[in-house]
Amino acid sequence: MAVTIDGKQIAEDVVSKVKLSAAELIEATGVTPGIAVVIVGEDPASQVYVANKGRKARECGFHSVQHTLPEQTGEEELVKLVETLNADPAIHGILVQLPLPKHIDSGRIIQTISPDKDVDGFHFINVGKLGTGELETAFVPCTPEGSMLLIDRILGRDLSGLNAVVVGRSNIVGKPMFNLLLAHNATVTIAHSKTKDLPGLCRNADILVAAVGRPQMIKADWVKPGATVIDVGINRIPAPERGEGKTRLVGDVDFADVASVAGALTPVPGGVGPMTIAMLMANTLVAAHRSVGKTPPRF
């Protein structure tokens, strides 16, 4: 039976380190790590995410600012707000909550954020640094960064000799996950909807990362015995057993099935999810350290 990787506990460990390091930075320099979250419109899921991020930032002792803009906000107005935040020395991390309304070019907004404050890791400069192995100065997207930390806790930082397969090629998870695994010396394959014999490819993986957005797609017969399986998926499916109209969250991995084969496995919820916000706090702390020429902590 697979070891269940407790993302909640590991995220709490990260947040505890962030709190301690933030307090030390404030005492040593007078600089309080600052994060600004910008949300446009009233998407319910985005509202929940933003509230959670703000709450966690305050818990860490950060200066936390939220800008809530109406749905009809123009692109130029949003650009000006981001440029103002870029110039604000009290703000070290800027996060624009996606998705944005259709009339706003998300790519333009992301590239307007200063790379030094891009704690989401989406700016082309940070993408390029990650792709060329400059991890010491890059900001890495929080979900793959958190997933990598979970892998580190199970297998260690050096993955030499291990085969990794990433299912999914998104810019937010799949591609950065590929680069992180490569930087840790794994032999990495990235798979997607056009991949031939996907189950066969997955069966060769010592590390299998599922980030495809299809509920419970990965079954036990896709998984190499003893493999470490990281489930990035979060899908809501009907749960009639809970009552009419009820739903439940599941990942891209069929947890109950795969747990009989894998060596270690993340649950959904409670696996990768908590790590995402924890790593956002860690990235903001790192940005604050860099802003005053201090060596940031490692996570």
Residues that are catalytic:
53, 97, 120
What are the backbone angles phi and psi of residue 253, rounded to the nearest 5°? -110, 135
Strand partners, 40: 69
- 253 and 270 in contact (C-beta within 8 Å)? no
Q: Residues 60, 233, 41, 238: is their CA dihedral positive or negative?
A: negative
Residues 6+ apart with CB under 8 A from 66: 36, 37, 38, 39, 50, 54
- 145 and 180 in contact (C-beta within 8 Å)? yes
Q: Strands 235-238 and 247-250, how do they pair?
A: antiparallel
Q: What residue type is assigned to position 193 of the chain? A: S
CA angle 290, 295, 296 (to 5 degrees): 75
* Cis status, amide bond into 99, omega within 30 of 0: yes
Please give the Cα distance from 263 to 154 (Å, whole number): 10
